[in-house]
Homo-oligomer: A and B are copies of this chain.
Amino acid sequence: MGNKAAFNIAIVGATGAVGQKIIQLLEKRNLPINQLRLLSSKRSAGKRLFFNNQEITVEEATPESFADVDIALFSAGGSVSKKLAPEAVKHGTVVIDNTSAFRLDENVPLVVPEVNEEDLQSHNGIIANPNCSTIQMVAALKPIQEAFGLTRVIVSTYQAVSGAGNEACSELEEQTKQYMNGEELTSELLPVKGDSKHLPIAFNALPQIDVFQDNGYTFEEMKMINESKKILHDEKLQVAATCVRLPLFTSHAESVYAEVGQNNLQVADIWKVLDGADGVTLEDDPETQTYPTPLSATDKEDVFAGRVRKDLDNDNGFHFWVVSDNLIKGAALNTIQIAERLIHHKWL
């Protein structure tokens, strides 16, 4: 497959928030596409979507959908991936999966191209795209780890509702209107679709993203912890996470504390490695109140870092603030970049 000039690409979950963003980005980028197939659940099949001004009818995703597909980009939830990704692989399709289904599988590389592109080489048909909040954090941590070593990370997140899909955006919009009209807020989805209790997100902060695990952490927090260790190739790296959903539509922000492997470093040393890092833009100048925010990062491809400060008590500790569009680098873009690198290196 490595010498093909153009590829048949399928998007599974084409009508969802991430699927739609993938279609948008494929129009802008240079992935050589022969045919694009849009797949979805039975419920959304039949919808018509546009790609490069060409109308494409969405088809129901079935095990047979992948017969001529070279690369399938999955963003339709973990259960769909678990069922259909192995079927796609049987057809020789390479799956890039945007769900948590295979991320911690030893046989599945978990990749942020700027961080661990080389892991792609050992894939067995499935490559996992990390969780949105993990991607932007490791993109900023990697250059620090490489330059100075990295021993410990404590992160608190500020996450947008679009991470929970289009329906969650509608819920925030609806509740915002209700609040402004002095009406009672109706909560039917967040914090977690399918969990038993629903709480208002408008003008609120919900310290629960995804379901609780037995250890008291949420699944989102455990994703950040486990995925970071895997991507940064350090099982001994100490990672702690608190994940919070906020009334923002797009872009996640993160307050990150990192302990590095060297002493006597200054803020300028951290700035230097972040500034030159692939996929990272440094926006940090207290004098001019320059720092990234969710609104400033929205619709942009990079991971933005700012507010770098040295810890006042620990010589090897630094605090900083990382923001990125959760649907772009946090999902759609990273997925496409994986496909681009596979093609570039002929690692399909």
Contact = CB atoms under 8 A, between A and B. Distances in A.
Contacts of A228: none
A207 B205 CA distance: 16
A173 interface: yes
Interface string A303-318: 0001111111110010
A44 interface: no
A253 interface: yes
B313 A238 contact: yes
Nearest to A152: B313
Nearest to A158: B205
Interface stretch (A65-73, A88-96, A192-200, A331-339): A192-200
Contacts of A246: 158, 205, 246-247
Contacts of A293: 199, 204-207
Contact of A289 (B191, B307, B309): B191
Interface stretch (A12-20, A22-30, A117-125, A210-218): A210-218
Interface string A236-255: 00111010101111000101
A247 B247 contact: yes
A64 interface: no
Contact of A156 (B156, B191, B291, B311): B156
Contacts of A253: 205, 207, 244
Nearest to A288: B197
Contact of A200 (B204, B257, B295, B312): B295
A273 B212 CA distance: 23
A255 B240 contact: no
A220 to B, nearest CB: 13
Nearest to A309: B216
Contact of A291 (B208, B248, B313, B319): B208
Contacts of A313: 152, 238-240
Contacts of A286: 212, 216
Contacts of A312: 215, 217, 225, 238, 240
B204 A294 contact: yes
A245 to B, nearest CB: 10
A42 interface: no
A74 interface: no
Contacts of A56: none
A158 B216 CA distance: 21
Given A180-B177, A311-B240, A289 B197 contact: yes
A102 interface: no
Contacts of A177: 180
A295 B204 contact: yes
17 contacts: A152-B313, A154-B154, A156-B156, A173-B180, A196-B288, A197-B289, A203-B249, A204-B293, A205-B248, A207-B293, A207-B306, A212-B287, A216-B308, A216-B309, A240-B257, A242-B307, A244-B255
Interface of A: 152, 154, 156, 158, 173, 176-177, 180, 191, 195-197, 199-200, 203-208, 212, 215-217, 225, 238-240, 242, 244, 246-249, 253, 255, 257, 267, 286-289, 291, 293-295, 306-314, 317, 319, 321
